Amino acid sequence: MRKKVIAGNWKMNMLPNEAIEFIQEFAPLVKDTQNEVILCVPYTDLFYVLLNTQDTNIKVGAQNMHWEENGAYTGEVSAKMLKSIGVKYVIIGHSERRAYFAETDETVNKKVKTALENELTPIVCVGETLEQREQGLTKDIITNQTKLALDGLDESQVEKVIIAYEPIWAIGTGKTATSEDANDSVKAIREEISKIYGQNVANRVIIQYGGSVKSSNAKELFTTSDIDGGLVGGASLKAEEFAKIVNYEL
Ligand code: PGA
């Protein structure tokens, strides 16, 4: 049985003092969950969040990284730097980075490889635009993005990757894919992984849904056959609301 993995994506929000206050309220609310809880926070919060989650079940992730080990890349942060302070996860290829910061399937693939080499778990985002959806291209787009993101990995590496299916039209818009629709897309991604890496690997890969997840729709989404939790943006900024999502079964 795959576990449920629920990750918050704070995006460019939360100052260190706000992050610390959040954790003080959030940690006790999620301490009994069997689900995996991750907070993906801005670089400037990482150290504070790592320190303040030390004795909790909360894991910490970054929202981006560079694919090179080090060098003349002003403003960038490497996988090794993240690993050195205790970060365990990193979001790669979020649609906002693809749209505003020229992230491509090729850079996503390079970052996934470097993350794995440094024992970081990549949370790789894939998803279609509204236009692509209306043209009936959803499955082609998301299976192709998945294939390219994982290109060159072996089975044991693919098993360690988390995929987040995030339809772009559902991000930050309040519009959620229906649970049936989202589950169909997640299934299509799993089938693609099965075609390339075999059914056993596909059965083990965690595939999340993201896009306007909130406490009122989390249960419906997370109890489908193939969705293994969520990547949560806006609703992860409020401790009580995000805790309700993590504790969706209660
Ligand atoms: P949202 O964002 O939950 O605010 O829609 C999700 C995401 O972008 O990861």
Name the residue at shortest CA distance from atom 7 of ligand 1: 233
Q: What is the mean pLDDT of residues 51-66?
A: 98
Alpha carbon 197 to chain centroid, angstroms? 21
What distance in angstroms lies between residue 77's CA and the mean position of ligand 1's atoms?
Answer: 23
Q: How far is the CA of 232 from the centre of ligand 1 (A)?
A: 5
Please tell me the distance from the alpha carbon of residue 196 to that of residue 183, in angstroms, as a whole number: 20
How many C-alpha atoms does 100 have within 13 Å on its Cβ side?
4
Q: How far is the CA of 152 from the centre of ligand 1 (A)?
A: 29
Mutate to test the pocket of ligand 1, among 5, 6, 9, 123 (most ligand atoms within 8 A of CB): 9
Question: Annotated catalytic sites, by residue?
Answer: 94, 166
Helices 179-197, 138-150: inter-axial angle, 10-degree rounding: 40
CA dist 237 → 8, 25, 41, 88 (Å): 8, 12, 10, 20
Q: For 111-136, how does the pLDDT look when each residue is reduced to its tens digit (9 = 90+)?
A: 999 999 999 999 999 999 999 999 99
Share of the chain above pLDDT 90, in %: 97
| pLDDT surpassing 90 at residue 177 | no
What's the average model confidence in pLDDT over 21-42?
A: 98
212 Cβ inside 6 Å of ligand 1: yes
Residue 233 CB–ligand 1 contact under 6 Å: yes
In this model, does residue 1 exceed pLDDT 90?
no
Q: Which pLDDT score, from 0 to 100, does residue 64 have?
A: 98
- The number of the ligand 1 atom at minimal distance from the alpha carbon of 9 is 9
pLDDT at 72 (0 to 100): 98
Contacts of 184 (CB under 8 A, 6+ apart): none
Q: What is the mean pLDDT of residues 4-19?
A: 98
pLDDT exceeds cutoff 90 at 176: no
CATH number (3.30.70.1350, 3.20.20.70, 3.40.190.10, 3.40.50.720) of 5-246 reads 3.20.20.70
Cα gap 90→112, rounded to integer Å: 9
The response to whether residue 171 sits with its C-beta less than 6 Å from ligand 1 reads yes
- Identify the pLDDT of residue 175: 87
Query: Tens digit of pLDDT for each residue in 69-95?
Result: 999 999 999 999 999 999 999 999 999
**Which atom of ligand 1 sits closest to the CA of residue 210?**
6
pLDDT, residue 230, reads 98
Which H/E stretch holds residue 9? strand 5-9
Q: Is the pLDDT of residue 141 over 90?
A: yes
Mean model confidence pLDDT for the chain: 97
